Structure 1
Amino acid sequence: MAEVSGEGVEGGRAEVEVVDLCRELIRIDTSNPGDHSGPGERVAAEYVAAKLDEVGLATQIFESHPRRTSVVARMEGEDPSRPPLLLHGHLDVVPADAADWSRDPFGGEIADGCVWGRGAVDMKDMDAMILAMVRERMRTGRRPPRDIVLAFLADEEAGGYFGAKWLVDHHPELFADCTEAVGEVGGFSFTVRDDLRLYLIETAEKGIAWMRLTATGTAGHGSMVNDDNAVTELAEAVARLGRHRFPLRLTKTVRAFLEEVCDAFGIEFDPDDEEAVAETVARLGPIATMIGATLRNSVNPTMLRAGYKTNVIPQTATAEVDGRFLPGLEDEYFATIDELLGPKVTRDSERQLPAVETDFSGALVAAMADALKAEDPAARAVPYCLSGGTDAKAFAELGIKGYGFAPLKLPPELNFAGMFHGIDERVPVDGLQFGVRVLNRFVDNC
């Protein structure tokens, strides 16, 4: 059983346990560099399975590749005729260099009212909330209204190909009767004033296009004039991409979010005034960068490779770029990319995942909003689009509607967006406790 020391933490059993579960998960290094050279998720998966088995919930462990491990379980609800709800979280984290951190990134320390470590917000906090909530329900026999499918997944930080995507491709029967899913990067607060906090529920994600660009020219001696230089051709194409500013495009979700923000601040919403939209986003402080990235498509050059000797002009040069496109704009996006590349540079897909979007309506959304309001009377749930991607993309292939709802009440000064893949990642202890209470209420009414 998890050590329920709490170290000064007060509250019910789940509220104490969620803190220790989060700390223990952080201490298990599941760094995912994207090439199987990391430790994998096996140890963390066994830890999760043991915690569920301990309270009588049977688990299945799946290993898509050595040490790349996921756990799936199913908690019975009161009405088995209803479609189950899928709750999913990933066990892997991005790597962390301890030299850059103020504290051990795999120490799971409590300091300044926070749990510190890699994965504290992305997303071992939500893994811990789910575990604490489920363990308490299993101990007390408190069944949810419908079945809950639990999935703790490998490889999300590299696209989910050895986690969610692998399970969807090889074991779709695990999720075949699910119609809705709840995962990460949503349900966190943005304080407008003391009596109003917006809680952002993720209902959309930009698509991902990691591309390899290749230019081919004529090889030769570095001392010669060469008008067919692959490096020059590639560099010019990369510069065009990097400097291109895609036009403002307000999708359904982004427009709805901006309308809510304008209403909260008491300002007029003008979707056709790009300067006014930018000023509205700027009011969002620490999350402005995250939201600003959802106003338009984007592409960022990230890697360049060419040549093997200074005095040899290489025949080929390659670059890698990170592209992101909004829901409904995929075809337009790639047409623009190809125009910017020009005829002498080709592109190949390294990794491509779709944009997803669902409506901010229905009983599940109402259950989220009500659960937040019950724990925070100042709460107002609003939809938003995530600039990154989650395992919701894989589950969408099965027709499952995905929402980001890992509830956290955050201090206004915390740079929450900066916690994702950043140094000194941390989550407030009282935020974890708030989250497990909200999640419990949500499940009661899902």
Structure 2
Amino acid sequence: MDGSFDAGEAIELTRALIREACVNDGTPESGQEIRNVRVLQRFLADAVAAGRVETQVLESAPGRASLIARVRGTDPGAPSLGLLGHLDVVPVDPEGWSRNPFGGDLVDGEVWGRGAVDMLYLTAAFAVVLREVALAPEPPRGDLVLLAVADEEAGGEYGIHWLVQNHPDAIRVDEALSESGGMRMGRHVAIEVAEKGSAGRRLIVRGKPGHASIPYGAESAAYRVGEVLHRLREVMPVAELGPLWSAFVHARIDDPEIAERLLDPVRIDAVLPQLGGIAGYAHAVSRVTISPTVLRAGAVHNVIPAVGTIDLDIRTLPGTTDENVDDLLSAVLGEWAEDVEIEHLRGWAATSSPTDTPLLAAIGRAVEEVAGAPMVPIMAAGGSDARVLRELGIPAYGFGVLGEDWSYERYREGVHGHDERIDARSIELSLAALRRIVADRVG
């Protein structure tokens, strides 16, 4: 395989994927990822025609398609490596953009468009390397599998979850690379090895209804919603510093005094305001977080509401159970706990992959060779399809090697933000590292 930094094909494929505008707004008919499946099919056509790649188009609903492309290895005992990328993107507000969000423009060495960072550049790089392996003079030792899936941006019910339930053999791999890596933590390149879980809850509070023209004697549930919100704002879950925390601190924090305080769960909150743009990430991955997101009370203008609800987006740490979450909410609510009913919403457990696997070691070597920088394993505050593979016992890591000026803060601004774009240098670095990892793991 070519280990060079040439990334012309990956850049052009990224642009083509952006232009298909596979926007997923969470409705069953949105996404229409079949359009990006066709882009990838055209790109892989010569390798398929040569009999080097086996492809399957699997459609969970009309237009909600995923592409599985497998290059067979020669050694049944060699590991199979999955390259897990998604084909959908989140909606845009065109008024916030300087350029056409679906133009795929290449301007001053940057590819512009929705999904450029999240994660079409990586999906393109995965397809490029798969095709290179397929057309190489010698076949690989182990299988290399592109999993280009639908519906990641809305939870994966029409994508990875549906594939696991309906086509488990098609997505069978021993280890995998996916998204949410590559940003710079100081001089380190961050590789995601874990991600927080989700434990949605709805708080239900009750009041005494009445006619809004005669409020005396009634007790609006809207007031109780406000009082519960005030309690949630005033009481913060305590820090729980897990095994990845010290690695993050030592990679990102240069001031030894601040670093020392961050390693103390008692003193961490007092020092968060001194962390600048990384404070939000540090806060998120050091504890369970509770965020009120949807409020409801009342239906008509002239009736004092009897019931109010607060939906909570709760993100959990590895090892946190549903019982732990309910106990935490009771502690946070304090005197309000007996008056609030807690309803469970959709959720999933936090996941993590081992930090001593051959794949992670190969990633570290590739990052060092390509970027001249050490790797640091991190936890993602959000979620990705990689968690589904981890739940199956498959080690999965968030990959990427972004350019030297791609701090975590810049990465977060680019994901789902206005004027999303990725520079050619980051695509080149990621592709070069990916080639080395694939050569290392499947030959």
* Fold agreement, TM-score > 0.5: yes
The answer to whether the aligner puts 1:79 opposite 2:75 as a matched pair is yes
- Aligned identity (percent) is 35
Select 1:29's aligned residue among 4, 14, 21: 21
Mapped contact 1:144–1:443 kept (Cα < 8 A)? no
1:235-384 paired onto structure 2 within 5 Å: 235-261=226-252, 269=260, 271-272=263-264, 274-275=266-267, 286-330=277-321, 331-339=323-331, 340=333, 342-377=337-372, 379-384=373-378
- By how many angstroms is 1:150 displaced? 1.7
- By how many angstroms is 1:18 displaced? 0.5
Mapped contact 2:192–2:378 kept (Cα < 8 A)? yes
Q: What amino acid does structure 2 have at the position aligned with 1:19?
A: I
1:413-432 paired onto structure 2 within 5 Å: 415-432=410-427
Equivalent residues, number? 427
1:24-173 paired onto structure 2 within 5 Å: 24-56=16-48, 57-141=53-137, 143-173=139-169
- Aligned counterpart, 2:184: 189
Mapped contact 1:219–1:315 kept (Cα < 8 A)? yes
- Aligned counterpart, 2:395: 401
Q: Distance in 1 between matches of 2:11 and 2:109?
A: 11
Mapped contact 1:185–1:406 kept (Cα < 8 A)? yes
The answer to whether the aligner puts 1:204 opposite 2:194 as a matched pair is yes
Q: Give the TM-score of the pair, scaled to structure 2.
A: 0.88
- By how many angstroms is 1:179 displaced? 3.0
Mapped contact 2:211–2:303 kept (Cα < 8 A)? yes
Q: 1:286 to 1:118 in 2, by over 3 A?
A: farther
Q: Distance in 2 between matches of 1:282 and 1:140?
A: 51
Mapped contact 1:286–1:415 kept (Cα < 8 A)? no
- Aligned counterpart, 1:388: 382
Helix, strand or coil at the partner of 1:43: helix
Q: Distance in 1 between matches of 2:6 and 2:273?
A: 36
Q: 1:78 to 1:93 in 2, by over 3 A?
A: same
Structure 2 residues not aligned, in runs of 5+? none
- By how many angstroms is 1:265 displaced? 6.3
Helix, strand or coil at the partner of 2:286: coil
- Aligned counterpart, 1:214: 204
Helix, strand or coil at the partner of 1:388: coil
Q: 1:255 to 1:111 in 2, by over 3 A?
A: same
- By how many angstroms is 1:261 displaced? 3.9
Q: Distance in 2 between matches of 1:182 and 1:400?
A: 10
Q: 1:212 to 1:162 in 2, by over 3 A?
A: farther
Q: Which moved further from structure 2: 222-231 or 432-441?
A: 222-231
Mapped contact 1:78–1:145 kept (Cα < 8 A)? yes
Q: Distance in 1 between matches of 2:210 and 2:218?
A: 11
Mapped contact 2:57–2:65 kept (Cα < 8 A)? yes
RMSD after superposition: 2.6
Q: What amino acid does structure 2 have at the position aligned with 1:23?
A: R
Q: Distance in 1 between matches of 2:277 and 2:40?
A: 32
Helix, strand or coil at the partner of 2:146: strand
Q: Give the TM-score of the pair, scaled to structure 1.
A: 0.88
Helix, strand or coil at the partner of 2:30: coil
Q: 1:254 to 1:396 in 2, by over 3 A?
A: same
